Chains A and B, each alone.
Chain A
């Protein structure tokens, strides 16, 4: 794209309007008239009116802006990307992670480490899973790449802590087994799109 097009691309409507400002007076008499007009029109009182109106709105009409943060919190988007959560299967309660290692592979800040082994049923089991939140940039690639919707982002954005390890162990991120009924699917990165069923095509059998 050349510069002309870049500047002219689709931003706003470009419907600018000049303020109907009067020209600045140059003669002494003109300046004097302007001062007199502005003084007599009491333009300054307009500002006072606005501030007192806002004050009454805040005090008596419940339009105070302040959110008392630690006690009140603003709602966040369901797609917000904060500390990760590991989901469980609803039927069995087993964690969804199959130990494929895709999240470890795709992580651009190289902060996911996982270790897997075969359990007694010859099924992959996650023995170690940590995310280094000192490095994580919350890009959401791990959630997007996960084939099982196992690792997703949650809404815990208050991450001040004495140790990073407080958040980053597999067990900390995993949905507690007694909260399984409250487990919600994540609508953000990597989630199944609403029209996923329509997009599925039957596998052609004949190649």
Chain B
């Protein structure tokens, strides 16, 4: 029992450390990819290939003045970024990040807690993540913050419906909410991937994943041209950095979810071992988010709502119906 607790704590700390480092690295990758797409060089001068730019940004964020506006609700203002970052990392607790491996004769499952309702837990935690931007925007006494948090509320709440409904069809097929079961369901190679039987659910999940992580076609929450920085307008320094880390951790979570649920998870892919395979898949989804950001303009709030309620949600419901009928027959 003690070993279990210690192991869990170690896993939690490792995930926290690795994913926040990856979130920092993600900013670097994002800047590089966007630069290459525009035929620029991106960060170049700090360290080899500009890699130490992450460190420089970190120093800047940590040493910046932690500013709380006089009209703000201090307590809510201070805890709101922690909610975003914390929920983003808590969501990762039920996500198996790598296949089981053995180290010093001990078999290690790289998942903090294999809940039998894992997927529900992840979706719920990402839903709770709504409170970060919402409270932040409402606490800071700034009209842009209010508009930003209102947009957060409508966008996250609406697209959670699509996420949930689109995942319902794969859940029906697998018959479990544990992500490890999802992985085992697709153990038979590429032909067994759920994306072939549920292509529509895959696309719907990707679209709503983009919306829930505030990525470009749906980046209305902190759109500079319209609402300055949305819910993060009055934030600076590390508090703003926590929003940022939370957002990038959410991107990684969505990448893991898409890879685990639809693309065969951490099963070995031909000659590629499973651990490398899932990292490649998640990297592809991360790259896809940057790629889409470089190509597409973002849409209006009314188009966002139109897309969600008039297109995606009916499609998701139809998908569930068809899946159910096929499973019955």
Chain B min CB distance to A8 (Å): 36
- Are A57 and B311 interface neighbours, CB within 8 A? no
Interface residues of A in 17-68 (CB under 8 A from B): 35, 44, 47-48, 50-52, 54-55, 57-59, 63-66, 68
- Are B37 and A51 interface neighbours, CB within 8 A? yes
Interface residues of B in 281-302 (CB under 8 A from A): 291-292, 294-296
- Are B294 and A51 interface neighbours, CB within 8 A? yes
Query: Chain A residue with minimal CB distance to B40?
Result: A66
Given contacts A55-B36, A58-B36, A59-B36, contact A50 B295 (CB under 8 A): yes
Contact with A along B22-45 (1 / 0, CB 8 A): 000000000001001111110010
- Give the complex CA separation of A63 and B38 in angstroms: 11
- Are A48 and B40 interface neighbours, CB within 8 A? no
- Are A54 and B296 interface neighbours, CB within 8 A? no
A54 — which chain B residues lie within 8 A by C-beta?
37-39
B41 — which chain A residues lie within 8 A by C-beta?
64, 66, 68
With beta carbons under 8 angstroms apart, the residue of A44, A52, A64 that contacts B39 is: A64
A47 — which chain B residues lie within 8 A by C-beta?
295-296
- Are A51 and B39 interface neighbours, CB within 8 A? no
Query: Chain B residue with minimal CB distance to A53?
Result: B37
Chain A min CB distance to B39 (Å): 4
Given contacts A35-B311, A44-B296, A47-B296, contact A65 B291 (CB under 8 A): no
Q: Interface residues of A: mostly helix, strand, loop or mixed? A: helix
- Give the complex CA separation of A58 and B295 in angstroms: 16
Chain A min CB distance to B111 (Å): 33
With beta carbons under 8 angstroms apart, the residue of B36, B38, B39, B295 that contacts A48 is: B295
- Give the complex CA separation of A47 and B291 in angstroms: 10
Query: Chain B residue with minimal CB distance to A35?
Result: B311
With beta carbons under 8 angstroms apart, the residue of B38, B291, B296, B311 that contacts A52 is: B291
- Give the complex CA separation of A44 and B298 in angstroms: 12
Query: Chain B residue with minimal CB distance to A59?
Result: B36
Chain B min CB distance to A151 (Å): 39
Given contacts A35-B311, A51-B291, A52-B291, contact A57 B39 (CB under 8 A): yes
A55 — which chain B residues lie within 8 A by C-beta?
33, 36-37
Query: Chain A residue with minimal CB distance to B311?
Result: A35
Q: Which of A48, A51, A57, A63 counts the most chain B CB atoms within 10 A?
A: A51
B39 — which chain A residues lie within 8 A by C-beta?
54, 57-58, 63-66
Q: Mark A residues whose CB is within 8 Å of B.
A: 35, 44, 47-48, 50-52, 54-55, 57-59, 63-66, 68
Q: Mark B residues whose CB is within 8 Å of A.
A: 33, 36-41, 44, 291-292, 294-296, 311
Given contacts A51-B291, A65-B40, 13 further A-B contacts (CB under 8 A): A35-B311, A47-B295, A47-B296, A48-B292, A48-B295, A50-B295, A51-B37, A51-B295, A52-B291, A55-B36, A65-B38, A66-B39, A68-B44
Could you jot down 26 A-B contacts, CB within 8 Å?
Answer: A47-B295, A47-B296, A48-B292, A48-B296, A50-B295, A51-B37, A51-B294, A52-B37, A52-B291, A54-B39, A55-B33, A55-B37, A57-B39, A58-B36, A58-B37, A58-B39, A59-B36, A63-B39, A64-B40, A65-B39, A65-B40, A66-B39, A66-B40, A66-B41, A68-B41, A68-B44
